[in-house]
Chain A
Amino acid sequence: MTVASPAPAGVARPKKPAPSRFLIAGLAVTAAITVWAAWEIDFTLGPLFENFANGWVVVEQFLRPNWGYLDNAWTAWLETISIAIVASFFGVAVGLIFAYMASNVTNRSTRLYRLTKWFLSVLRSLPDVAYVLIFVALVGVGSLAGILALFIFNIGIAAKLTSETIDAVDPGPLEAADAAGNGTFSRARWAVQPQILPNFLSYALYIFELNIRSSVVIGYAGGGGIGYLIQVQFARFNYENVSAIVISMFLVVLLIDQLSQYLRRRLV
């Protein structure tokens, strides 16, 4: 081995290992699902080339946003932000109670713990739009339906995120509380809550952001706010107005993201 020969004669290159059966099966299943799904929805990119001219007319209108329309939009924005504030406040407050019930750490009854987990996963499996449709049927079109729908929706998310944080708390204070003979409520309040509070508040801000983002959906389904305005303007083919609203939405979401990131950095 005095001379570093590039490839010593006679030493065969090791054989490439054969792909595992797991991989082959996985790829086959993926390909099968993809083909089937594409067939199910008649997937095609054809219209992109055939109807591009139609689309371009719309895009052109979008490129000339009607800024004047934003004078009408600001009340809708106020409505959307108000909906988000009320729904996230009550949603995360109730979500916190569910979070305590959905963690082994704070909930000492296994049966209640399982029941809460099951209930929350049912709650989360419905999309927000389903809740909007339900509440529109119950209380009529308007922002009350939006508030109630987001409220229910927020409970699921807040409870999931917070209960995962509760699962990971430092057990020290809990042991101390147990040793001092605390009951279920006071150990949750004094041994767990101080530990999770910064995370909880940051989830609350995150949920507020989510609520602003889903305002389009909420309004479309009849829950009031900026989404309703988009729906009306879109239905009337006023694409210049829709474009102005979309750009304002972009700015509002960005602004709220920044604000909430700033607050979250100070909290955690």
Chain B
Amino acid sequence: MSAETTASTTRTARPQEPGKARATIGAIVLVVLVIGGGFFSNAQWSKFPDIFTEGGRYFYLMLRGIVQNPFSEPYSEYWVQAFNGMLESISMAWIGTMIGAAISIPMGFLAARNVSHPALVQVTRVILNAIRTLPELIFAIILLLPIFGFGPNAGALALGIGAVGTLGKLTAEALEGIDPGPVEAARAAGAPRSAILRWTYWSQVLPEVLAFWLYRFEINIRASAILGVIGAGGIGSVLSQAFRYREWDFIGILLFVIIVVTVVVDSVSGAVRHRIIAGTGKTDKDIDTEPVGL
């Protein structure tokens, strides 16, 4: 016994390697899924090399569009159209965010467990989840086009409805996370229910909720481009039009404007968000609950 102990101190046995069976099975399943996916997607893989043969040429054409003198015809017209489209997209995104924010406030209160009745909470959450499940495009198609026709107005409303799902859920979660102290104090002082909601609940979540709204605005800018493809106006409509006619230099200018404006708006909005939530103990990561691009 003692001999054995001394032996193991001089030369400790290497611990057994943990089993890899689970990881191996997982890897095999994944490979099968990916190969199956490659097959069942009906993708024409034979066209894959076209990216390299055609891609370089198109990329060159796009770059050429950007570097042309922007004051010469037809490039001045391209730049004006690109900026107008982008302005329209941003407006759509802004109005959509405003609509979503306005509707999400009551929805958020109704969906917060510490505010409203349990049955109401359940009902509201089901509605919010249903909205979150469906992409904005569906709202635009189903409800808005028949009534509002094609155009940015329908787009803004679709973005607004789409935003209610996420914003309502995040507002409810923020409300559930508040410090109950002020609520008790207000109640003890005999404040009416409306005053309690306004001055203890709402005051505590306001910075966070504002940050959510701004974040949603950033998401909506991208989403508005998506809606443009079905004819909701904005840069998306201009872009799909340009693709239809294969005007590569115009496409280059459009993509350039989208990238620059999005990056600028993102960083301004990000800085404002950062300033708003400074001191609330929240970080940017708490706000970026879903990555931009939905």
Chain A residues at the B interface, C-beta cutoff of 8 Å:
33-34, 36-38, 40-44, 47-48, 51-52, 54-55, 57-59, 62, 78-79, 81-86, 89, 121-122, 124-130, 133-140, 142-144, 146-148, 153, 156-157, 160-161, 164, 210, 213-214, 216-217, 220-221, 224, 230, 234, 242-243, 246, 249-250, 253-254, 257
Least Cβ distance of A71 to chain B in Å? 17
Q: Which of B141, B225, B233 is the one whose CB lies under 8 Å from A129?
A: B225
Knowing A157-B291, A217-B229 are in contact, say whether A51-B258 is a contact too (CB < 8 A): no
Partner of A121, one of B143, B240, B263: B263
B40 touches which of A37, A79, A221 (Cβ 8 Å)? A79
| Contact between B255 and A126, CB atoms less than 8 A apart | yes
Chain A residue with Cβ nearest B133: A253
Specify the main secondary structure of chain B where it touches its partner: helix
CB contacts (< 8 Å) of A89 on chain B: these are 30, 33-34, 37
C-alpha spacing A114/B106, complex, angstroms = 43
A129 to B255, CA, bound (A): 12
Q: In the bound complex, do residue B135 and residue A143 qualify as a contact, i.e. CB atoms below 8 Å apart?
A: no
User: Per a CB cutoff under 8 Å, which of B40, B44, B94, B98 touches A142?
Assistant: B44
13 contacting pairs across A/B (C-beta < 8 A) = A34-B95, A51-B148, A52-B147, A54-B146, A55-B143, A126-B255, A136-B243, A140-B44, A146-B41, A157-B291, A213-B133, A220-B137, A249-B134
Q: Which B235-294 residues sit within 8 Å CB-CB of chain A?
A: 236, 239-240, 243, 246, 255, 258-259, 262-263, 266, 285, 291-294
Check B236–A55 contact: CB distance below 8 A. no
B47 A140 Cβ-Cβ under 8 A: yes
B285 (CB) vs chain A CBs: closest residue: A164
A55 CB contacts on chain B under 8 angstroms: 143, 146-147
**Would you give the shortest CB distance from A8 to chain B, in whole angstroms?**
16
Q: Is the CB of B236 within 8 A of A125?
A: no
How many contacts A-B (CB < 8 Å)?
Answer: 203
Cβ–Cβ < 8 Å partners of A127 in chain B: 222-223, 225-226, 236, 258, 293
Interchain CA distance A146-B229 in the complex, whole Å:
15
- B interface, CB within 8 angstroms of A: 30, 33-34, 36-45, 47-48, 50-51, 54-55, 58, 87-88, 90-92, 94-95, 98, 130, 133-135, 137-138, 141-143, 146-149, 151-153, 155-156, 222-223, 225-226, 228-230, 233, 236, 239-240, 243, 246, 255, 258-259, 262-263, 266, 285, 291-294
Residues of chain B within 8 A (CB-CB) of A38 are: 91, 95
Query: Once the chains are docked, how many angstroms separate the CA of A120 from the CA of B55?
Result: 20
CA distance A138 to B44 in the complex (A): 12
A41 touches B40 (CB 8 A): no
Would A40 and B41 count as touching, CB distance under 8 A?
A: no
Contact B51 A86, beta carbon cutoff 8 Å: no
Picked from B50, B141, B239, the residue with its CB within 8 Å of the CB of A230 is: B141
Do B259 and A144 have beta carbons less than 8 Å apart?
A: no
